[in-house]
Amino acid sequence: MNVNATAKNCSGVTSRAAGNSFVGAFKRVNIDSITVRNSKGGIKIQDGTEDLTINTVVAAGGAYSTNNSGFKVQGSDIDPAKYPKRVTVKSVVVENSGGSGLYLQNARDTHILSYIGRGNSTVGSYSAIWIHGVNVTVDSIKSYNAQTTAITLRGGSVNFKLGDVYILNPGVHDGPQGYEWGINIGDAQGAIGDVIVEDDKAVPTLRRGINVHQAGAVVDIKSLTVTPPGSVCPTICSVSPNVVGGGPV
């Protein structure tokens, strides 16, 4: 089964509608492309999904965007046996989403080959990229002007793998005492490749390249480069590889 899906201006105005631009559970399906624009709810791959492959996902926000928008592989917390499994997406590009551009919650054996996000999480407090699950892999991440923290690795994630990560200007709308963080790590276990976090604003506001906020975190980081290194708090804008628990780095 091959599918090309397009949706726009999904407002969610009826009493039972979330305004999702694309939602469903799929088994042994290939989807060529999903292209959506200006919808209240996001693209949601939900419980019951198994062995799904998507070639390209392109999503753009608009006036209807809420913190429920973006691209999501999401289990419901009700029945772990039904969590989405073995989802592979070759390319995800999300711009100006009200919520997370990429939202992986209760995902199992999910593989995103390439993710590019620009200006996401324009409303609410979710990170522009939210990762939680078991055996979740994202080969390449590029995040530009995330309105909140660029990436959250939620506690309980096991054996996650992130390839090279590039983050520019995270936390745009949070203000000088907000969450201008590149990556926020909870009680998660996994590995990250080379990480670059940059702030090129005339007056830099970057506070932390990486923030580790739960002591159970066990994460191997190949390298971290933060520019400018003395943004607001010089001592928490650098890190040596092999982060194991502790506070901000």
First to last CA, the chain: 47
- Nearest-angstrom CA–CA distance, 164 and 142: 9
* Residue at token pair 């694309």: 22
* Bridge partner residues of 235 (DSSP): none
Report strand pairing: 111-112 vs 137-144: parallel
What percent of the chain is predicted at pLDDT more than 90?
54
59 token code pair = 């999503």
- Nearest-angstrom CA–CA distance, 137 and 151: 14
* Residue at token pair 């419980």: 47
Q: What pLDDT, on a 0 to 100 scale, did the predictor assign at position 173?
A: 64
pLDDT in tens, 182-200: 999 988 999 999 999 998 8
pLDDT band at 247 (very low <50, low <70, confident <90, very high): very low
Please check the confidence at residue 233 and state whether its pLDDT lies above 70: no
pLDDT in tens, 56-112: 999 998 888 888 889 999 998 888 999 999 999 999 999 999 999 999 999 999 999
Short-list 222, 220, 211, CA closest to 246: 211
* Bridge partner residues of 96 (DSSP): none
